Every structure is written in C-alpha cells, then in structure tokens.
Amino acid sequence: MSDLPHVEPGEMIAPGRTALIVVDVQVDFASPEGLIGGYGTDMSPAETAIDRIEELIAAARKAGATVGFMRVMTRPETDSNALKTWMARRGTPDNAGICRIGTGGEDYYRVSPEPGDIEVSKLAYSSFHGTDFEQQLRARGIDTLVMTGLTTDCCVDSTTRDAFHRDFHTFVVSDACASFDEALHTGTLNALNQHTSLLVTTDAVVAAWSA
C-alpha cells in the first residue's frame, strides 16, 4: 500500500459535511460462513479491512460525521436479466443468489448501524442505483464521502464512480477496502485515484477527525 499515492485529508473531510460509507460488509461477502467463504476463498483481506472499518466508524461517531451502511438485499425475482444472462454465459449461474433475504447471508458482519445512521438496501453494485441514497445525503448537507468496504473492484468502485458523477467529493480508504485478488484491489485504487478520487489511509482519516 505504501506505493499508492495517498494524501492527508485534513479539513477536506470536515465531519459536518462528510459521510463515512461502509459498503457491503455482510456475511456473504465477508464471513468464512458466507457464500464466498463457502467456496474456500481466503477471507483474511476482508477481515483486515473490517478491522480498519471498525476504527473508522468509532472515529466518525466521535467526530460527528455521518455513517452510512450499504447492503445488498436480493430475492430470485429481483435478479436482473442482464445479471442472470452474464452469469450463465460465464458458467457461474449459481452466484446470482448472493445476499438472499432470509438466508442470513444478507446480514451485516461485525458492524451494524445505529439510530441516525444512513441505511441503503440495494440490488446492484452501485449504492445509488434504484435507491434514495443521494437524497439522504443531500438532506443532511453532505458533499463528501469517505469510502470503505467490499469489494474494492466491484461495489466500492461502482458507488464511488456514481458519487463522483453526482458531484460528491470522494476519498477512498485504501486499507479499509478489500478485494479477493490483490491485483484487482490495487488496480482499482489506482484507477479511482486517476479518475475520480483521492486515496487516504485509516490513520490519516482518524487523525483528521481527531484534530
């Protein structure tokens, strides 16, 4: 991570106008007992990122920054035709059944919202797609997002890009995101830095919110 182009965020992430966004820290994406873990995937990158996310949530609450929890919530009838067709064409149709409501796979893992936090249930990668996420942010006067969660290359990336397109300032916490492929993780962070966002570390964000 040391070779990534990090910045010191300082007053750019002032708590009164900033939200810490926690993307898809759920059983199916993060737990060894979830859908991805059940395939024998090494879940340690997710666990390490969640350690940092827990630090950031505590710092955000202490500083008075908004905390937002994004969560995939699906049923068979909500799977899009594009998703099902793509899965079938690549030979993995069963993977469409992630975060099914009622299975426990959709539950939060190691983190949970408190009263007053933003919560968004979504069907697609972007937290903005088909949701009221933008409206909730605007209602609170938020113009800056500090992005964390799973996975860097998928839902974190999609949400961050959509935030930029909606004129939000975006910061991605490199050690509080994770992918299950280090090359994808690093590549996505570099691409976001190149096109939409500034990269920061957990320590730098905590320091900014503690000042």
Q: Which residues are catalytic?
A: 24, 122, 155
Give me the DSSP letters along 14-83. -GGGEEEEEE--BHHHH-TTSTTGGGT---HHHHHHHHHHHHHHHHHHHHT-EEEEEEE-B-GGGS-HHH
**56-73 burial code (b ≥16 CB/10 A, e <16):** bbebbbebebbbbbbbbe
First to last CA, the chain: 24
**C-alpha closest to that of 29 among 53, 55, 7:** 53
How far apart CA 22 and CA 111 sit, in angstroms, is: 9
